[in-house]
């Protein structure tokens, strides 16, 4: 990696940039493929639809097709199957990218030189950042566990192919595989902007682990730098806002709902927060 703007902890070897492990394919991909954001609550919804379909099949088998009750159940399930995917597909392919395009544009206007994307997955955020930033010395770093929780598919090779498809120079990128988001392999105050798309929630289910992940994002962020969190449900965002403002002492924490982006049973939302200038983030 040629990114002089990124600092790693002293007396430790720099983590491997896994993009260097791949070779260009014989035929470059024509377009990027981001995969599918698949939050766990959405999985539960799909399983409930399957269960309802099985139950309806058993009901029809036992009672036949006669009667208004049967037709009411069938029509209700059919409408649910048709209408449920529409807002999800719009959010998946359009709405979330409209949000991130604004964040990317504002980052380029500020002249951010070092950007970190936590839980980078297939690169839908970090590659946009790298392509839009006019600063030739800017570097975008992604970290991920690359598990199948939250995104399908989820692999460094897919991210590499997406970078080629978008024409993003690889010398402006670095991607590291890490075991957990509660410990980031960077020195303090290394980044101007830290982004994450449904990544903090992958740190664990306990408030302690969520606070550790947020604390790490704050630790590697420079004073005055921005933290942008996109999350598919407001329940998690309320926890993050409380941790940032009450536990970590951040005063500029803004939470907004994205009413045009429904990846779950609730509309998605985001938090934009600015790291205080006067004191570092402390994690207990």
Please tell me the predicted confidence (pLDDT) of residue 65. 63
**Any alpha helices (H) in 67-150, and if so which ranges?**
68-83, 85-90, 96-110, 126-132
Please tell me the predicted confidence (pLDDT) of residue 9. 80
- Interatomic CA distance for residues 189 and 6, integer angstroms: 9
Domain boundaries, the chain: 40-87, 94-274
Please tell me the predicted confidence (pLDDT) of residue 134. 80
Q: Can you give the pTM of this predicted structure?
A: 0.83
Q: Which fold has domain 94-274?
A: Rossmann fold (3.40.50)
> Tens digit of pLDDT for each residue in 43-94?
555 666 676 667 667 766 666 666 656 656 666 666 666 666 778 788 888 9
Q: Give the Å distances, CA to CA, from 94 to 40, 98, 179, 216, 224.
A: 21, 6, 31, 30, 30
Instruction: Collect the ranges in the chain with pLDDT lower than 50.
Output: 1-2, 4, 280-281
How much is the mean pLDDT over the chain?
A: 84
Please tell me the predicted confidence (pLDDT) of residue 1. 40
- Interatomic CA distance for residues 181 and 161, integer angstroms: 24
Please tell me the predicted confidence (pLDDT) of residue 2. 45
Q: Give the Å distances, CA to CA, from 57 to 42, 43, 62, 74.
A: 23, 21, 9, 9
Please tell me the predicted confidence (pLDDT) of residue 17. 93
Please tell me the predicted confidence (pLDDT) of residue 154. 80
């Amino acid at each position: 990696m040629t990114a002089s703007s990124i600092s790693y902890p002293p007396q430790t070897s720099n983590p491997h940039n896994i993009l260097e492990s791949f070779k260009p394919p014989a035929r470059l991909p024509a377009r990027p493929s981001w995969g599918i954001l698949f939050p766990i609550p959405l999985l539960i919804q799909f399983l409930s639809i399957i269960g309802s379909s099985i139950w309806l099949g058993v009901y029809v088998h036992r009672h036949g097709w006669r009667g208004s009750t049967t037709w009411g159940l069938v029509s209700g399930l059919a409408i649910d199957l048709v209408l449920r995917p529409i807002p999800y597909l719009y959010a998946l392919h359009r709405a979330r990218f409209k949000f991130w395009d604004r964040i990317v544009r504002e980052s380029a206007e500020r002249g951010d030189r070092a950007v970190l994307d936590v839980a980078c997955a297939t690169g839908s955020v970090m590659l946009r950042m790298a392509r839009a930033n006019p600063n030739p010395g800017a570097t975008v770093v992604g970290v991920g566990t690359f598990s199948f929780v939250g995104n399908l598919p989820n692999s460094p090779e897919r991210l590499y192919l997406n970078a080629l498809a978008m024409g993003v120079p690889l010398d402006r990128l670095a991607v590291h595989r890490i075991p957990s988001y509660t410990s980031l392999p960077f020195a303090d105050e290394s980044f101007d902007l830290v982004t994450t798309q449904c990544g903090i929630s992958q740190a664990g289910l306990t408030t302690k682990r969520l606070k550790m992940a947020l604390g790490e994002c704050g630790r590697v962020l420079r004073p005055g730098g921005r933290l942008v969190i996109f999350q598919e449900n407001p329940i998690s965002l309320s926890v993050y806002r409380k941790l940032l403002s009450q536990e970590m002492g951040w005063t500029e924490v803004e939470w907004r709902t994205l009413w045009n982006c429904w990846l779950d049973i609730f509309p998605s939302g985001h938090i934009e927060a600015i790291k205080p200038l006067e004191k570092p983030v402390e994690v207990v």
